[in-house]
Amino acid sequence: MGNYSIETKCIQSGYKPKNGEPRVLPIYQSTTYKFDSAEHLGNLFDLKAPGHMYSRISNPTLECVENKIADLEGGVGAALVTSGQTASLLAILNITSSGQNFVSLSSIYGGTVNLFAVTLKKLGIEVRFATPEMTDEEVDALFDENTRLLFGETVANPALRVLDIERYANIAHKHNVPLFVDNTFATPILCRPFEFGADIVIHSTTKYMDGHATIVGGCVVDSGKFDWCNGKYPEMTEPDESYHGVVYTKQFGNAAFITKIRTQLIRDFGVAPSALNAFLLNLGLETLHLRMERHCRNAEKVAEYLNNSDKIAWVNYPRLKGSKEYALAQKYLPNGVCGVISFGIKGGREAAVKFMDSLKLAAIVVHVADARTCVLHPASTTHRQLTDEQLVGAGIGPDLIRMSVGIENVNDIIADIEQALNEVK
Ligand SMILES: *Cc1c(COP(=O)(O)O)cnc(C)c1O
Q: What is the pLDDT of residues 10-22, one digit of tens each?
A: 999 999 999 999 9
CA 351 to chain centre: 32
The answer on 157 and 84 residing in a single domain is: yes
Q: Are strands 77-81 and 218-222 parallel, antiparallel or unpaired?
A: antiparallel
Alpha-carbon span 170 to 172, nearest angstrom: 5
Let me know if residue 356 belongs to a domain.
yes
Is the separation of the CB atoms in 220 and 78 below 8 Å? yes
Domain boundary among 284, 319, 346: 284
Is residue 28 a part of any domain in this protein?
Answer: yes
Q: How far is the C-alpha of 345 from the C-alpha of 421, rounded, in Å?
A: 9
Checking if the pLDDT of 328 tops 80, the result is yes
The verdict on the CB of residue 216 being under 6 Å from ligand 1 is yes
- Sheet holding 401-404: strands in order across? 312-316, 340-345, 401-404, 374-376, 363-364
Question: How sure is the predictor about 400, in pLDDT bands with cuts at 50, 70 and 90?
Answer: confident
Number of structural domains (the chain) is: 2
Verify whether ligand 1 is closer than 6 Å to residue 147 (CB atom).
no
Within this chain, do residues 184 and 327 fall inside the same structural domain, yes or no?
no
182 Cβ inside 6 Å of ligand 1:
yes
Task: Kindly state whether residues 237 and 295 are assigned to the same domain.
Answer: no
Contact, 133 vs 167, CB < 8 A? no
Give the pLDDT band of residue 350 (cuts 50, 70, 90): confident
> CA dist 189 to 39, 142, 210, 216, 219, Å?
43, 33, 14, 20, 16
Query: What is the pLDDT of the chain when averaged over all its residues?
Result: 95
**How many percent of the chain have pLDDT more than 70?**
100
Rounded CA separation 261/370 (Å): 28
**Residue type at 337 in one-letter notation:** V
Atom of ligand 1 nearest to the CA of 85: 9
**Ligand 1 close to Cβ of residue 157 (< 6 A):** yes
Structure confidence at residue 425 (pLDDT): 80
Please give the DSSP secondary-structure letter assigned to residue 273. P
Instruction: Give Cα 177 distance to the centre of its chain.
Output: 20
CATH label of the domain that carries residue 237: 3.40.640.10
**In a shared domain, residues 299 and 276:** no
Q: Is the pLDDT of residue 216 over 80?
A: yes
* Band of residue 348 on the pLDDT scale cut at 50, 70, 90: confident
Q: Is residue 56 part of a domain?
A: yes
User: 184 in ligand 1 pocket by Cβ < 6 Å?
Assistant: yes
Is the domain of 301 the same as that of 176?
Answer: no
Q: To 10 degrees, what angle do helices 410-423 and 288-307 make?
A: 40
- For residue 302, give the CATH number of its domain: 3.90.1150.10
| Residue that is last in its domain, among 252, 284, 316 | 284
Q: How many angstroms does the Cα of residue 83 sit away from the middle of ligand 1?
A: 7
Gap between the terminal Cα atoms of the chain: 55
pLDDT 10s digits, 15-68: 999 999 999 999 999 999 999 999 988 888 888 888 999 999 999 999 999 999
**Which residue out of 104, 157, 183, 185 has the highest number of ligand 1 atoms within 8 Å of its CB and is therefore the one to mutate?**
157
Cβ distance 377 to 398 under 8 Å?
no
In this structure, the answer to whether residues 248 and 374 fall within a common structural domain is no
Q: Collect all residues with Cβ–Cβ distance below 8 Å to 222 and sequence separation of at least 6.
A: 70, 75, 76, 77, 78, 199, 200, 254, 255, 257, 258
Give bridge partners of residue 199 from the DSSP assignment: none
**pLDDT tens per residue, range 145-171:** 999 999 999 999 888 999 999 999 999
Interval 321-350 mean pLDDT? 93
Q: Give yes or no for a contact between 269 and 90, defined as CB atoms under 8 angstroms apart.
A: yes
With a cut of 90, say whether residue 384 has pLDDT above it. Answer: no
Is the CB of residue 75 less than 8 Å from the CB of residue 223? Answer: yes
Q: Which of 183, 191, 190 is nearest to 207 (CA)?
A: 183
- Do 15 and 130 belong together in one domain? yes
Is there a single domain that holds both residue 40 and residue 125? yes
Q: Verify that 278 and 397 share a domain, yes or no.
A: no
The domain in which residue 94 lies consists of 6-284
Q: What are the start-end ranges of the E strands in 267-357?
A: 312-316, 340-345
Please indicate whether residue 85, judged by its CB atom, sits closer than 6 Å to ligand 1. Answer: yes
The verdict on 276 and 413 lying in the same domain is: no
What integer pLDDT is reported at residue 206 of this predicted model? Answer: 98
- Smallest CA separation from ligand 1 atom 8, residue: 84
Residues 277 and 298 in one domain: no
Domain boundary among the residues 284, 314, 343 is at 284
Residue 308 and residue 278 share a domain: no
Looking at the domain assignment, is residue 214 inside a domain? yes
User: Is residue 1 situated within a structural domain?
Assistant: no
Q: How confident is the model at residue 379 (pLDDT cuts 50, 70, 90)?
A: confident
